[in-house]
Amino acid sequence: MNKICFIASTGGHFEQLMMLKPLMDKYESFIVTEKTEYSVIKDDRKIYYLNQVNRHEKTFIFKMALNFIKSLNLFIKERPDVVISTGALATIPMCIFAKVFKKKIIFIESFAKVNSPTLTGKLVYKFADQFYVQWEQMKEHYPNAIFRGGIY
């Protein structure tokens, strides 16, 4: 049976990830997100936290380096077969480790992005096993993406 890592940053990315709860219930899984002061997650699954990152902050590189270390430790501890991500930046290290360890990566581009790609999406698109867009016009940016409509 496959073990799945569901990973997203906070806010809308995490809200979209939680729309996949039926899939989470079907497989052995765990959740990874950013730690914030307002995090209130009610779920019986294992939940792990990364540092919240903002590429415009002076501490960005330091926090991303810490997230790489935390993500590697989580990956080794949990050994997921599949990583499913809705973005954003904090999720990149886990996706990279999935690729390095030859595991499957499924990325779902943000519902909020109707006409332009996200920075994370542009990076992960290059190596994701499956890449989903929630708006058909986004296939202009991601020609090999899969469009199945929104996850809402």
Is residue 57 in some structural domain?
A: yes
Sign of the dihedral defined by the CA atoms of residues 20, 13, 7, 93, in that order: positive
Q: Tally the C-alpha atoms within 13 A of residue 42's C-alpha that lie toward its C-beta.
A: 0
At 23, give phi and psi (nearest 5°).
-70, -40
DSSP structure string for 51-74: E---TTSTTHHHHHHHHHHHHHHH
Model confidence at 39, in pLDDT bands (50, 70, 90)? low
Q: Say whether pLDDT at 75 is over 70.
A: yes
Per-residue pLDDT, 33: 95
Per-residue pLDDT, 88: 94
pLDDT in tens, 97-113: 999 999 999 999 999 99
The number of distinct structural domains making up the chain is: 1
Domain range enclosing 133: 3-147
Per-residue pLDDT, 43: 72
Instruction: Round the average pLDDT of the chain to a whole number and report it.
Output: 94
CATH number reported for the structural domain that contains residue 28 in this entry? 3.40.50.2000
pLDDT in tens, 13-32: 999 999 999 999 999 999 99
Is residue 152 in some structural domain?
A: no
pLDDT in tens, 47-71: 999 999 988 999 999 999 999 999 9
Helix (H) or strand (E) holding 94: helix 92-100
pLDDT in tens, 137-148: 999 999 999 999
Is residue 142 in some structural domain?
A: yes
DSSP state of 28: E
